[in-house]
Structure 1
Amino acid sequence: MSPIKDFQITCEALNEAGTFSAGDTVIGEVTFYLTKDTHVKSLLVKAKGEAHVYWTEGSGDDSKSYSAHKRYFKDKKYLVGENAKDNKLHRGLHNFKFRLTIPHGNMPPSFKGNHGYIVYKVEAKLSRSFRMSSTAQKELDFVSKSSPCTSQCPQSGSVKKEMGGFSRGEVQMSATVDRQYFSPGDNLSVVAKICNSSSKKMRPKFKLLQKTTYHAGSSSNTSYTTLFKMVGDTIQANSEETASCKVTIPLDAMYTLSNCEIISVEYHIKVYLDISFAIDPEVVFPLVIGPYSSGACDDMGPYQAGMFGAPSYSDFPTSTFTGFSPVPIGSGYHALDPTQQGYTPSGYNNQWTQNTIPYGFSATPFMPPSVHPPATEQPPSYMYLHPNADKNG
């Protein structure tokens, strides 16, 4: 029977949120109780950060597995000297304090998904000759110090569609999101202005989508999760309406993940018109979800608006369309000022001018991306995805 009892590790963060970031110092303690005097080889403590993905496609003989691994850092210290001639610890309670440093660098936040993880943790290992080692570990809640973007500028985009077949006329829609950067729990306001100059009825719809992609070499595994969906009131033929929607970012929403080579998490708000027997016109806005920040950034880095564009999944031209006085529909939603001139990622001005005749257009049919329902299975355990983690150190 092992004389080592209650072997555990504790860590403390230097902030009230209990999180860790690049450059932080991890302060902790390894504690255990010995039922008798014991000779040990070493007591090692280490902090490390790593990412791993794994998934299988196909079944039976046709199945193929994909995996990738990325290590961000490792810092270790011996609390009891390695392979010393006489490391004798006396019976009783033992406490070993330690300090480990997380290096500076652009490291992604903690993440756990169906096919991978990004984990930061501290491990302790007490080794004895010809005996099983005693181990303990503590995961760290790691967040990035700098958010990808804290822009408070609105996003705007528009789309046109000419109705064909037995329908006549055209449909025009302009949509606006109040800003681009959000934190969990924030409210997101969307306004869609629709001019239905066709003979078809339609309904505006709003979706908040999370896109998660795992990469292994040249292969990838992508899934979509719908976090929110709302259907607006029916817009009759030859009418003009404004549909507004307020979305609360889920408190448990993962942060946008863009600085990991093998895992990415993106968010989009999609505004589209559900038209029977027709390809639905849509406007898609990219969103960034991250820690709370009251500031605004001038340099948006990889999240520059010009790189996003709007609509990002549409082949229809982006333009300003005007010609009616919008009227809010539904209840319980706050509509933005329809005369507000906001920032337009695509470079177009979205100011609304009254008594202006819409100009003509040509549209190329497109197919919207398929959206899969959220997975119901529980994420696999750390050891299932990476069974040789301890062996590889």
Structure 2
Amino acid sequence: MGTAAMQPLGCVRSLSVELDANRAWGAYTSGELLRGRVRLELRGTLRLRALEVQARGRATVHWLESHSVGLNTVYRDYTAYQTFLHRRCQLVLDNGEVTVLQAGRHEFPFTFQLPETLATSFEGKHGNVRYWVKAKLRRPWATVKKVKKEFTVIEPIDINTPALLAPQAGAKEKLARAWYCNRGQVSVTAKIDRKGYTPGEVIPIFAEIDNCTSRAVVPKAAIIQTQTFIARSTKKQKKSVVTSMVGDSIAAGKREVWHGRALKIPPVGPSILQCRIIQVEYSLKVCVDIPGTSKLLLELPLVIGTIPLHPFGSRTSSVSSQYSVNLEWLSSIPEQPEAPPEYSAVVSGSDAEQSLAPPCRSDLGSILEGPFFAYIQEFRFRPPPLYSEVDPNPTSDHIRPRCMTC
């Protein structure tokens, strides 16, 4: 990683802190080892009393609010802190004696164990979460020399958990009014296949918008980031649009259906849910612009994680998102299909040949790409029952055999 250096200070040419890059993207997570070194370059001999290094990390919230008291304006200060990391190590002990260092370069390695619970690094309008390593150089009859090196922490959020793989759905309706006149109702129903996503993924949105008003409406969808700062039992929020899309205009009395309308997640920071004073949350909002009245809003919660969906989970999720709206009846199909019937239970002849023929791909359409086609294939490739010359259902005398030429 980079080096933080100070200007030449007397016989001290430079003082810097360097961290070992533990991975390509240079971020740390909870429970890891933070390794590095303090580098000291001297022009001449240095009398050193102590050299200390600290690893710190905390969340800070601060904002001011103005309040009118009579003719005066009073400002209230809202400040809060939460400490996640506070470690220190003495590289040169202060035991009352002076250590003499010769001119040249000197390195002092250090190692810190990061705690098991940390919050992701964050920079917001009214607060932040920061981590740094600070070195302090103490000399006799001289001011303390300090240097600081910041580092990034990204807490892992695995979306492969039952809570984050659960589908999210909701419905809302609104009565459009203008000048005390009822102009009809607008309703929206939306669903997404899971709650947890990672940046770069596409969210397929399934929605139905009914426009029973006398004017055209416009549906929209957006991902909203909500930053919440808490101090002195008071909350302050900042909301911003991460990405959005606009649907086609829906004429009066018409219905619009989204069969998995795609909304891609841009590069954004993960959700922060483990901090007491700072929270970063996401949501998917489906809204309908109604002329002459306020918007109809439907909000579905989202969690932006760091560990993407496993390949098996991704396939299952994509299949469910593709067919959960218009093929809900497929959920009744058993996971382990029963064995096919005997040939004796099937009508023989040309009718049987047609019924046992493989399904035509053009007739099934998009179903061939889903799990239902695999269910059919399992019947097609099973071996037939054993052959027997004895007819298990012989024809009786009072029933005339069917003529195959008729």
State whether TM-score is above 0.5.
yes
Asked if 1:154 corresponds to 2:159, the answer is no
TM-score, reference length from structure 2: 0.69
1:76 to 58, 81, 88: 88
Q: 1:98 to 1:228 in 2, by over 3 A?
A: same
Asked if 1:29 corresponds to 2:37, the answer is yes
Report deviation, 1:13.
4.1
Q: 1:263 to 1:36 in 2, by over 3 A?
A: same
| Equivalent residue, structure 2, for 1:141 | 152
Asked if 1:10 corresponds to 2:18, the answer is yes
Q: Is this contact kept in 1: 2:228–2:280, CA < 8 A?
A: yes
Report deviation, 1:241.
1.4
Q: Is this contact kept in 1: 2:243–2:266, CA < 8 A?
A: no
Q: Give the Cα–Cα distance (whole angstroms) in 2 for the partners of residues 246 and 117 of structure 1.
A: 32
Secondary structure of the residue that 1:141 maps to in structure 2? strand
Q: Give the Cα–Cα distance (whole angstroms) in 1 for the partners of residues 236 and 207 of structure 2.
A: 32
| Equivalent residue, structure 1, for 2:317 | none
Report deviation, 1:200.
2.7
| Equivalent residue, structure 1, for 2:214 | 199
| Equivalent residue, structure 1, for 2:262 | 246
Letter in 2 for 1:102: L
Q: Give the Cα–Cα distance (whole angstroms) in 1 for the partners of residues 234 and 15 of structure 2.
A: 41
Q: Is this contact kept in 2: 1:21–1:145, CA < 8 A?
A: yes
Q: Give the Cα–Cα distance (whole angstroms) in 2 for the partners of residues 62 and 336 of structure 1.
A: 57
Residue deviations 1:284-328, cap 9 Å, x none? 0111012133359x9xxxxxxxxxxxxxxxxxxxxxxxxxxxxxx
Which range is displaced more, 92-101 or 169-178? 169-178
Asked if 1:223 corresponds to 2:210, the answer is no
Report deviation, 1:4.
0.9
Which range is displaced more, 156-165 or 37-46? 156-165
Q: Is this contact kept in 1: 2:168–2:301, CA < 8 A?
A: no
Q: Is this contact kept in 2: 1:158–1:173, CA < 8 A?
A: yes
Secondary structure of the residue that 1:63 maps to in structure 2? strand
| Equivalent residue, structure 1, for 2:121 | 110
Q: Is this contact kept in 2: 1:54–1:67, CA < 8 A?
A: yes
Residue deviations 1:200-219, cap 9 Å, x none? 32110112111111111211
TM-score, reference length from structure 1: 0.71
Q: 1:201 to 1:212 in 2, by over 3 A?
A: same
| Equivalent residue, structure 1, for 2:105 | 93
Q: 1:175 to 1:216 in 2, by over 3 A?
A: same
Residue deviations 1:219-248, cap 9 Å, x none? 121111112232222111111112464222
Instruction: Kindly report which structure 2 residues correspond to 1:324-343, keeping only aligned pairs within 5 A, or say none.
Output: 336-337=322-323, 338-341=325-328
| Equivalent residue, structure 1, for 2:385 | none
Q: Give the Cα–Cα distance (whole angstroms) in 1 for the partners of residues 136 and 327 of structure 2.
A: 61
Q: Give the Cα–Cα distance (whole angstroms) in 2 for the partners of residues 145 and 286 of structure 1.
A: 19
Secondary structure of the residue that 1:237 maps to in structure 2? coil
Which range is displaced more, 71-80 or 170-179? 170-179
Secondary structure of the residue that 1:214 maps to in structure 2? strand
Q: 1:145 to 1:202 in 2, by over 3 A?
A: closer
Higher Cα radius of gyration? 2
Letter in 2 for 1:143: I
Q: Give the Cα–Cα distance (whole angstroms) in 2 for the partners of residues 341 and 160 of structure 1.
A: 23
Q: Which has the higher contact order (CA 8 A, sep 6+)?
A: 1
User: Whose helix proportion is higher, 1 or 2?
Assistant: 2
CA RMSD across the alignment: 2.5
Q: Is this contact kept in 2: 1:207–1:227, CA < 8 A?
A: yes
Q: Give the Cα–Cα distance (whole angstroms) in 1 for the partners of residues 196 and 240 of structure 2.
A: 19
Which range is displaced more, 30-39 or 129-138? 129-138
- Count of paired positions: 303
Letter in 1 for 2:298: V
Q: Give the Cα–Cα distance (whole angstroms) in 2 for the partners of residues 19 and 193 of structure 1.
A: 42
Q: Which runs of 5+ in 1 are unaligned?
A: 299-334, 343-393
Asked if 1:259 corresponds to 2:274, the answer is yes
Secondary structure of the residue that 2:105 maps to in structure 1? strand
| Equivalent residue, structure 1, for 2:202 | 187
Residue deviations 1:247-277, cap 9 Å, x none? 22221x1211111111011111110111112
Q: 1:169 to 1:220 in 2, by over 3 A?
A: closer
Residue deviations 1:330-373, cap 9 Å, x none? xxxxx95441549xxxxxxxxxxxxxxxxxxxxxxxxxxxxxxx
Q: 1:162 to 1:115 in 2, by over 3 A?
A: closer
| Equivalent residue, structure 2, for 1:313 | none
Report deviation, 1:192.
2.1
Q: 1:210 to 1:145 in 2, by over 3 A?
A: closer
Instruction: Kindly report which structure 2 residues correspond to 1:315-354, keeping only aligned pairs within 5 A, or say none.
Output: 336-337=322-323, 338-341=325-328
Report deviation, 1:74.
1.3
2:58 to 47, 50, 57: 50
Letter in 2 for 1:234: S
Q: 1:129 to 1:148 in 2, by over 3 A?
A: farther
Q: Give the Cα–Cα distance (whole angstroms) in 2 for the partners of residues 210 and 255 of structure 1.
A: 10
Asked if 1:128 corresponds to 2:139, the answer is yes
Secondary structure of the residue that 1:58 maps to in structure 2? strand
Secondary structure of the residue that 2:275 maps to in structure 1? coil
Q: Give the Cα–Cα distance (whole angstroms) in 2 for the partners of residues 91 and 128 of structure 1.
A: 15
Q: Is this contact kept in 2: 1:158–1:283, CA < 8 A?
A: yes
Instruction: Kindly report which structure 2 residues correspond to 1:280-299, keeping only aligned pairs within 5 A, or say none.
Output: 280-295=295-310
Q: Give the Cα–Cα distance (whole angstroms) in 2 for the partners of residues 161 and 146 of structure 1.
A: 36
Report deviation, 1:149.
6.6
Q: Is this contact kept in 2: 1:167–1:200, CA < 8 A?
A: no
Q: Give the Cα–Cα distance (whole angstroms) in 1 for the partners of residues 328 and 120 of structure 2.
A: 35
Which range is displaced more, 75-84 or 91-100? 75-84
